[in-house]
Structure 1
Amino acid sequence: MNAPVRSTCPYCGVGCGVEARQTEAGLYEITGDKRHPANFGRLCVKGAALGETLAPDGRLLYPEINGERVEWDTALAYTAQRLRTIVDEFGPQAVAFYASGQLLTEDYYAANKLMKGFIGSANIDTNSRLCMSSAVVGYKRAFGADAVPCSYEDLEQTDLAVLVGSNAAWAHPVLYQRLVQAKKLRPQMKVVVIDPRRTATCDIADLHLALRPGSDAGLFVGLLNYLHLQQPLAAEQFDGQAEALKLAAVWPLTKCADFCQLEADAVQTFWQWFAEADRAVTLYTMGINQSSSGSDKCNAIINAHLACGKLARAGCGPFSLTGQPNAMGGREVGGLANQLACHMNFEPADIARLGQFWGSERIAETPGLMAVELFGAIGRGEVKAVWIMGTNPVVSLPDALCVEQALAKCPLVIVSDVALQTDTGRYANVRFPALAWGEKNGTVTNSERRISRQRSFLPAPGEARADWWIVSQIAQRLGYSEAFSWRHPQEIFCEHAALSGYENHGSRAFDISGLANLSREQYDALEPVRWPVTSEGEPVFKSWRVSGKFQLVPVEPDLPQAVADRCYPLILNTGRIRDQWHTMTRTGGVARLMQHINMPFLEIHPDDAQRYGIQDAGLVRIASRLGGMVARAQVSLNQQAGSVFAPMHWSQQFARKGQTNSLVAGVCDPHSGQPESKQTAVRVQRWQPAWQGEIFARDKVTFAQDVQWWRQASPGVQHFLCAADSACVAWLETLTAGRGWQLQTACGDEQFYHLLAWREGELQLAFYAGKSWPQINNGAVLAAFENGSLTPAERHLLLAGKAPGAVNDTGKTICSCFGVGEKTILAAIATGCQSVTMLGEKLQCGTNCGSCIPELRALLTKTAD
């Protein structure tokens, strides 16, 4: 093997270090970087599977205009001319950029500089608006700056870890495993999980508060009151103190317990633990932020830490976990529409400072449109051009149909992306092929403010280019050559670092001016470093407010705007699953990452399932006032009665009707603009189709309009789960007609229908359907596609969905890291493996990222009953 290239994982905000090694076969093996302080070598299953995402299949390789391949010069000149015409005719507010936490800091900086500094509009926002903007507001109101006051080491030094609105075991698995290990080493540490659902994160919880959905603020406002009663705050200790305490005083224990629908004793226990712990850290993410009152919830948490001094010392603090690899970097460069670069604001002094540094007289002077309102403005025709970079808003934004309609009407839609087929890309007039992970070169910043390098180790496929390069080329064609003359990302990084320290002198939290003079070699060798990085070193955490004091923000707890009623009696919660990422553009193509959960599901309490006639593993239709989707039911006591849960990952590339955000309304927090994606009123209905099954095909499959389908990643074949109300025979006849295939079928009393299609001894198609999901050996079917001709007896076995050879059916995948299935685990338990440790020793399951350990324990418990 060649020497490894050290880089950073492109998934969640933990920011794990990785090493990429090229094997003798020319493939790349990805392992954890043992020297990186975020993960010390540990990776989750998604990170460990990065090497399986590097194939060029499905990549956008060349620039396009209206679907036709063109030369780069043509695409760039056309785009610049269209943008210039729109700005000249309608003004800079008619142009918008929509960026992504998947961009590198250098890409982000270039885009923000062009839009806010030279086009002269602040209409650049980012998909980080959907996950972290409420946390930004919370920090800025309390501290005067978007400065996260915590580090990962705090999890290992705390006495009390509170996880609220966070299924970290699945969404931030490496960080969660650090917490697991810390608790193992220090058993006296207490862990509290606050979540309406019982998730995998509850596996180590000493206390699980399954509160009423969206009621978190009541719990923490009550905690503030409790803390003040236990030890009164000194007068004028914080700005806003009197009003905050006044509002909190009317939230005693009984009122809080009633509001949160919790037992008073459980609430009392939590409050007492928080008050008595010498050190406490609260980790929060989407369950807090994605709310119509998310900013207030963040401040309710911060208020509690301020009130008892659990801040700015080891093992303490309010810790917002970012969802994307560079959500923090985007915040640093000004990627949100309501901020300027390097933590500067829309204030005269900051505007002048930025104009002087950039040499521009066109600095945006007022905040721009935030994500949801931005696409609303596109739909109304107020924004005439939008450039979407590295994200898929048709899937990720709420009210997805309105987003599609807006893009369909927009005169100029520019998309920079790595994928040839995305839901958003269908609406593009111009498409730019961007670099993907492994090809990019730059920096990212993780949840604990640690800047790490993403280094390239792959050549650019086709004519793909770096996002910063594409932006700079457009800027030059718009007439701004001098300000965008970079030749390497190191030059952009050093400019960004210099700006962070420009006229700063400690007045702004973000300062990396100590890195502004890095040479190309020093930049290439940069080790992970936490900001601030100044000549004076890292200062003591302080308030950056004018008064110099932290602020207690008055919070009046509020419930979600979504309310269940007779027509829509359930509240839908949305979120992530363990093995998939965002809209599955990368992870959806990896076969082993689809084995754990292979289609959208709806988790529902048994009482609700009985009320609506829903069976476990049966199909259900879910509808809100805005749209609908189809999913597989998962009946579980982990879910509260009256609420349901569905994952947010499936796009129209992976399911005909699997978009969760087609149901969600664009209701936003008034301060942060973050949508309330966690609570939507819905109804559910049992769907018993005429048939449901699986199809495997060597070539493209065209489905009838009434067939619901869910694409599966399988090597060498097209593979789908599918179901429909109409008989499957007519559709299959159309699919196989005129191909010269030899067909073999089996059916019985309208209960099942199986079909195999061959040509010259080579399997072309395999279809299995029944009234319920057919039980087939997928490994056997895939092997038949790969291995060629079979004997007549083997074909009959395959027609029945059984293995013609020695292909074992290991059952549903539990451990994706090592591909260990449920049947294999149950067999090991039956032979004497009676603990997670013993299963790990025998099968390796649970020994890498640890995400499957809760399911291993559940299987051990089930077999013991």
Structure 2
Amino acid sequence: MTAGGTPAEVRSACPYCGTGCGLLLRPDGQGGLEVRGDPDHPANRGRLCSKGLALGETLGQEGRLLAPQVNGRDTGWDSALDLVAARFRQAVEQHGPDSVGFYLSGQMLTEDYYVANKLMKGFIGSANIDTNSRLCMASTVAGHKRAFGTDTVPGTYEDLEEADLIVLVGSNLAWCHPVLHQRILAARAARGTKLVVIDPRRTASCDQADMHLKLRAGSDVALFNRLLAALYEGGALDADYLRHVEGLGAALEAAFAADAAVTGLEATEIAEFCDLWRRTGKVVTVFSQGVNQSSSGTDKVNAILNCHLATGRIGKPGCGPFSVTGQPNAMGGREVGGLANMLACHMDLENARHRAAVQDFWGAPAMPDRAGLKAVDLFRAAGDGRLKALWIIHTNPAVTMPEADAVRAAIKACDFTVVSDITAATDTARLADVLLPAAAWAEKDGTVTNSDRTISRQRAVLPPPGQARADWDILADVGRRMGWAAAFDYQSPAQIFREHAALSGLAGRFGLDFDISGLSGLSDAGYDGLAPVRWPVSRRRGGRFFADGRFYHPDGKARMLPVRCQPPAAAPDREFPFRLNTGRIRDQWHTMTRTAQSPRLSGHLGEPFADIHPDDAAKLGIKPADLLRLRSPHGQAILRARITADVQPGDLFVPIHWTGETAPSARIASLVAAVTDPVSGQPDSKASVAAAECFQASWYGFAVSCRPMTPGTDYWALARSETGYRAELAGSAPLRDPEAAARQLFAMPDAAIQMMTDSRKGIARVALHQGGRLAAALFIAPQPIAVRRSYLAGLPGSCTSGVLTGQPPEDLPDAGPLVCACFNVGANTILRAIETGGLISAADVGAALQAGTGCGSCRSEINALLARRRCKPAAE
């Protein structure tokens, strides 16, 4: 407590992307939190993105899983965990250790990950433990190991501020890692850093870039091969550094054989990019999912690494390839060996000496000597009966895995499925035999590692609700019940961290990179107070990697790889003429279990959509706000069409976030083919083929309500609002009784009704009132609904009677669609300020309204509003 009696702020870490922002948290005394950025954390220096700023809005207990459940019924921990232990033990005894599997998540803390890995690999004796990081960063892991001999990220965030050129490859950093993007823009303003974006579509990251190379999807290898050849031709190779590198000749041969024309870029564009790269001494290449999520993702990574190795631009301040991770603890999972082909602490599963050392350290009865089933194969094994027991922790594969419908069926078919999560209301949790209530962010203690190897403490500041427990505690309890009491006799995360740090000392003695043995002697108090620290932390080495030319292959040298641009696994054809690209949006996270609780975060892009080029839309007869039906060989979806030249003709872009809980027709991974990179096992989420057509709706609807709705229509998308919920609806069958439909939708059979209909035009507007206040309203029309959604979403619970107009009164300003989620500023508010205040720049808008001064990820939209106002006819 502070001197004034208020709770003291607690330092913690954000649970979203791999930036690893530090937070200051203060309980508000009512079960919530005040959240602000930690100015002393090296990752963010006080900045937060819209999601981080809204964390306090995502902590409600609604929907939380409060007790273990077996077959849908509440039970106690003893009976639930006895059952889990018995079924896993039975499967191993009857069918062998490879008949069971774990599927984990980058949402887990390092201590949780460590216990899971130890239990599966060391004691059950199988490597069938994989993580949703397989969908995120596996190609980077494989590329690093091929080039460096181990999975080392050489870059640091400080490099972003010291570079003279930053190249973003397949990374919409402005939306997916906004705080890092703001660090780049600050460096750009201070020292003139050049910024190049390489991406098939125009994104918010392009807004302040010097160059946008809008290459053809999947052609990254051809571009970087051309760069490598140009570096050789321009005399930019570093002969001294290349003494530490093998494979230059073969890599150059492949580079000169490449045809850069497959990128679809003009030769002058490519030459300008290559010349800029060649003549700039300090270059950082930042890459993310656009590189990794590919059937040739590992080759793409190595094509980038080749250019840095050949020029010695690696490991030095302001230089190097830099993989930015998508999840808060994807790095921590890699460090403990959470992937099916890894061993703890970056040791190799197939190295007998490493296996023996880890087995001896753990006192383990058995260790697998080969890689286990990676994610796609793990769920295939669940579906065909090879897996008899499966444990899924903090992830939603029934939505996120490629061919998601088949994965849903596989989970359902598995003999015994356990799900640990904070809620029972996910697509995956609804398929479980046993549900285990887990502690959520702000309720659990441990560590996470961010993209630049900085380990931060995540601290508990709120009590877990009901019977929820920490993941390490649940896993260790099962380990004890399976017969390994001594090995899993953990009492605290500090104890687990010390063991993990001590084990890393073995890796250090093998000469490997991951060594935090300098932290193995931390006391409980030292662990509680641990400040952010970047590994390695040992007596053997510290600081940067690879500037000295020391690598981790047996000969101590790096490897350049001959890589060639591979055609996509499936090419568009007459039946499926589009290429489907999936990704994230600014204000939502994964499958929205947390972010969907915040009305603010749902206000920006409140329903699923598909971006389609204007030429393609015209060919299909698609108009703005129409619904689009997508179909692939594996599934189908219905989404709102967004007609935009940001995507190329023949390409579609669709966000990944919507689920059976929020928009069942928009589970986009059901369309994605389970094609994987042959080296990394990472699925290709950027290049599935699809067909598109206009969804022929008989009616469209928009609804607002003070409580959750239960739509059953062909298309619906539900989102939180400040006063309850809002939903977009559409149906193919005629809606003959609007009043009955409204009462059923809102489950309000006795509410007072106010209605306006025009049966000839197919229009109906229905308002339901309870206790003199508006409880819900439904708007129906034969075309997409034209009402002021942001205004209507704020009405439930009010005494208004004018809801059926669908428009705000003339004397009531309408903020319009949300633009800035950090400060809750709408488009109309910005337009009015531009017009009345004579604002001419995003900086002016920020000074007047704060919009764009938080994470900055809305600045591209602010600039678009400024351009729109500049282009407005004088007579308008």
Partner-residue secondary structure (3-state), 2:815:
coil
Instruction: State the shift of 1:665 in Å.
Output: 0.4
The answer to whether 1:263 aligns with 2:266 is yes
Which structure 2 residues correspond to residues 471-482 of structure 1 after superposition, within 5 A? 471-482=475-486
Question: Partner residue of 2:390?
Answer: 386
Instruction: State the shift of 1:237 in Å.
Output: 4.9
Cα separation, 1, equivalents of 2:92 and 2:509: 37
Question: Partner residue of 1:728?
Answer: 735
1:702–1:735: 8 Å Cα contact kept in structure 2? no
2:775–2:797: 8 Å Cα contact kept in structure 1? no
Which structure 2 residues correspond to residues 181-220 of structure 1 after superposition, within 5 A? 181-187=186-192, 189-220=193-224
Instruction: State the shift of 1:769 in Å.
Output: 1.6
Question: Partner residue of 1:597?
Answer: 605
Instruction: State the shift of 1:736 in Å.
Output: 2.5
**How big is the alpha-carbon RMSD for the aligned residues of Structure 1 and Structure 2?**
1.6
Instruction: State the shift of 1:25 in Å.
Output: 5.8
Match of 2:633 among 606, 625, 628: 625
Moved more, 744-753 or 359-368: 744-753
Question: Partner residue of 1:62?
Answer: 67
Cα separation, 2, equivalents of 1:331 and 1:13: 13
Instruction: State the shift of 1:858 in Å.
Output: 1.0
The answer to whether 1:668 aligns with 2:672 is no
Instruction: State the shift of 1:729 in Å.
Output: 3.6
Question: Partner residue of 1:858?
Answer: 864
Instruction: State the shift of 1:30 in Å.
Output: 0.5
Cα separation, 2, equivalents of 1:699 and 1:157: 51
The answer to whether 1:513 aligns with 2:520 is no
The answer to whether 1:686 aligns with 2:688 is no
Instruction: State the shift of 1:803 in Å.
Output: 3.9
Question: Partner residue of 2:559?
Answer: 551
Question: Partner residue of 1:311?
Answer: 314
Match of 1:615 among 623, 640, 648: 623
Match of 1:344 among 334, 342, 347: 347
Question: Partner residue of 2:109?
Answer: 104
2:706–2:797: 8 Å Cα contact kept in structure 1? no
Instruction: State the shift of 1:699 in Å.
Output: 4.9
- Deviation per CA, 1:560-581: give whole Å up to 9, x if none: 2131100111111110000000
Question: Partner residue of 1:565?
Answer: 573
Partner-residue secondary structure (3-state), 2:536:
coil
2:345–2:507: 8 Å Cα contact kept in structure 1? no
Which structure 2 residues correspond to residues 749-768 of structure 1 after superposition, within 5 A? 749-768=760-779
Question: Partner residue of 2:95?
Answer: 90
Instruction: State the shift of 1:726 in Å.
Output: 2.1
Instruction: State the shift of 1:616 in Å.
Output: 1.8
2:111–2:496: 8 Å Cα contact kept in structure 1? yes
Identity among equivalent pairs (%):
47
Cα separation, 2, equivalents of 1:68 and 1:237: 61
Partner-residue secondary structure (3-state), 1:728:
coil
1:358–1:483: 8 Å Cα contact kept in structure 2? yes
1:780–1:804: 8 Å Cα contact kept in structure 2? no
Cα separation, 1, equivalents of 2:199 and 2:853: 26
Question: Partner residue of 2:3?
Answer: none
Cα separation, 2, equivalents of 1:735 and 1:225: 65
The answer to whether 1:837 aligns with 2:843 is yes
Instruction: State the shift of 1:558 in Å.
Output: 1.1
Cα separation, 2, equivalents of 1:375 and 1:98: 9
Question: Partner residue of 2:751?
Answer: 741
The answer to whether 1:177 aligns with 2:182 is yes
Segments of 5+ residues of structure 1 without an aligned counterpart are: none
Instruction: State the shift of 1:40 in Å.
Output: 0.1
AA aligned to 1:479 is: G
Cα separation, 2, equivalents of 1:751 and 1:817: 39
Instruction: State the shift of 1:856 in Å.
Output: 0.6
Segments of 5+ residues of structure 2 without an aligned counterpart are: 1-5, 872-876
2:722–2:794: 8 Å Cα contact kept in structure 1? no
- Deviation per CA, 1:264-307: give whole Å up to 9, x if none: 01101111111111110100000000000000100000000000
Question: Partner residue of 1:584?
Answer: 592
Partner-residue secondary structure (3-state), 1:538:
coil
1:325–1:444: 8 Å Cα contact kept in structure 2? yes
Which structure 2 residues correspond to residues 282-431 of structure 1 after superposition, within 5 A? 282-345=285-348, 346-431=350-435
Cα separation, 2, equivalents of 1:12 and 1:826: 32
Partner-residue secondary structure (3-state), 2:368:
coil
Question: Partner residue of 1:533?
Answer: 537
Moved more, 630-639 or 314-323: 630-639
Instruction: State the shift of 1:366 in Å.
Output: 1.1
Relative to structure 1, the CA distance from residue 89 to residue 683 in structure 2 (aligned partners, 3 Å threshold; closer, same or farther) is: same
Relative to structure 1, the CA distance from residue 473 to residue 731 in structure 2 (aligned partners, 3 Å threshold; closer, same or farther) is: farther
Match of 1:650 among 658, 663, 669: 658
- Deviation per CA, 1:382-438: give whole Å up to 9, x if none: 011110000000111000011011011101000000122000001100110001000
- Deviation per CA, 1:647-699: give whole Å up to 9, x if none: 11111111020111010000000010000100111111112412212122345
Partner-residue secondary structure (3-state), 1:504:
helix
Instruction: Give me the TM-score of the superposition, normalised by structure 2.
Output: 0.95
Relative to structure 1, the CA distance from residue 390 to residue 26 in structure 2 (aligned partners, 3 Å threshold; closer, same or farther) is: closer
Partner-residue secondary structure (3-state), 1:96:
strand
Relative to structure 1, the CA distance from residue 39 to residue 702 in structure 2 (aligned partners, 3 Å threshold; closer, same or farther) is: closer
Instruction: State the shift of 1:632 in Å.
Output: 1.1
Relative to structure 1, the CA distance from residue 305 to residue 385 in structure 2 (aligned partners, 3 Å threshold; closer, same or farther) is: same
Moved more, 569-578 or 733-742: 733-742
The runs of at least 4 consecutive aligned structure 1 residues that moved more than 6 Å come to: none
Cα separation, 1, equivalents of 2:249 and 2:794: 70
Instruction: State the shift of 1:703 in Å.
Output: 3.0
Cα separation, 2, equivalents of 1:740 and 1:506: 73
Question: Partner residue of 1:140?
Answer: 145
- Deviation per CA, 1:103-122: give whole Å up to 9, x if none: 00000000000000000000
Moved more, 711-720 or 589-598: 711-720
Moved more, 496-505 or 676-685: 496-505
AA aligned to 1:819 is: N
Instruction: State the shift of 1:750 in Å.
Output: 2.1
Question: Partner residue of 1:453?
Answer: 457
Instruction: State the shift of 1:735 in Å.
Output: 5.3
1:779–1:807: 8 Å Cα contact kept in structure 2? no
Moved more, 695-704 or 103-112: 695-704
Cα separation, 2, equivalents of 1:577 and 1:272: 33
Relative to structure 1, the CA distance from residue 681 to residue 5 in structure 2 (aligned partners, 3 Å threshold; closer, same or farther) is: same
Match of 1:247 among 254, 258, 269: 254
Instruction: State the shift of 1:238 in Å.
Output: 2.0
Cα separation, 2, equivalents of 1:383 and 1:807: 60
Relative to structure 1, the CA distance from residue 734 to residue 783 in structure 2 (aligned partners, 3 Å threshold; closer, same or farther) is: closer
The answer to whether 1:775 aligns with 2:780 is no
2:169–2:286: 8 Å Cα contact kept in structure 1? yes
Instruction: State the shift of 1:758 in Å.
Output: 2.6
Question: Partner residue of 1:707?
Answer: 714
1:780–1:805: 8 Å Cα contact kept in structure 2? no
Moved more, 640-649 or 732-741: 732-741
1:105–1:443: 8 Å Cα contact kept in structure 2? yes
Relative to structure 1, the CA distance from residue 462 to residue 806 in structure 2 (aligned partners, 3 Å threshold; closer, same or farther) is: farther
Cα separation, 2, equivalents of 1:239 and 1:734: 70
1:134–1:295: 8 Å Cα contact kept in structure 2? yes
Question: Partner residue of 2:32?
Answer: 27
